[in-house]
Amino acid sequence: MTSTDLSGPVSTADLYDERGEDLQSVPLQFQDLGGNVAFSGPVRTIRCHEDNGLVKSVLNSPGGGSVLVVDGGGSLHTALMGDMIAAAAVENGWAGVIINGPIRDRTAIAQLSLGVKALGSNPRKSAKESLGEVDVPVEIAGVAFRPGAMVYADEDGILVER
């Protein structure tokens, strides 16, 4: 499949071969934890630390096929999304979630029609203070994610437009 056929899942390897340096490749090795391994869409962002209040709020709003990129700073101390928040993302039309941190309820999330890439899992709940920032540029492993840029994810990794 080529990137000119964006009606279905896009192979990140093929897309990179076609577009090269127009795309940034995330070197961090995320785990595929959702029911959809390949997903893409316009970026929405959250920057937070061990607090998933904003994640819950944003994923409970219309997603319109977007991908939420959550920069949790790589902290593995608390989960930033669980099965109820992930189910709300599906109900609200989100294509996927990329979390620089862990999730919880991974068995249930794996059954959902949602792309989820995260660093792993941790059963510990996070704070619910809604501290952080929404729709701001975030950087993960040296790669910039700007709200509105297209992101593509599959088994090979994550690409984002420069």
- Is residue 4 predicted with pLDDT exceeding 90? no
Domains and their CATH numbers in the chain: 25-161 (3.50.30.40)
Residue 84 marked as a ligand binder: yes
- Is residue 68 predicted with pLDDT exceeding 60? yes
Q: Would you place residue 10 in the very low, low, confident or very high pLDDT band (cuts 50, 70, 90)?
A: confident
Residue 105 marked as a ligand binder: yes
Quick check: 65 and 38 in contact, CB under 8 A? no
d(CA 133, CA 109): 25
pLDDT at position 3: 39
d(CA 103, CA 121): 5
Buried b (16+ CB within 10 A) or exposed e, 126-155: beeeeebebeeebebeebebbeebbbbbbe
* pTM higher than 0.85: yes
Tens-digit pLDDT profile for residues 33-62: 999 999 999 999 999 999 999 999 999 999
Residue 44 marked as a ligand binder: no
pLDDT at position 157: 97
Mean pLDDT, the chain, as a whole number? 95
Tens-digit pLDDT profile for residues 118-138: 999 999 999 999 999 999 999
Residue 5 marked as a ligand binder: no
- Is residue 72 predicted with pLDDT exceeding 70? yes
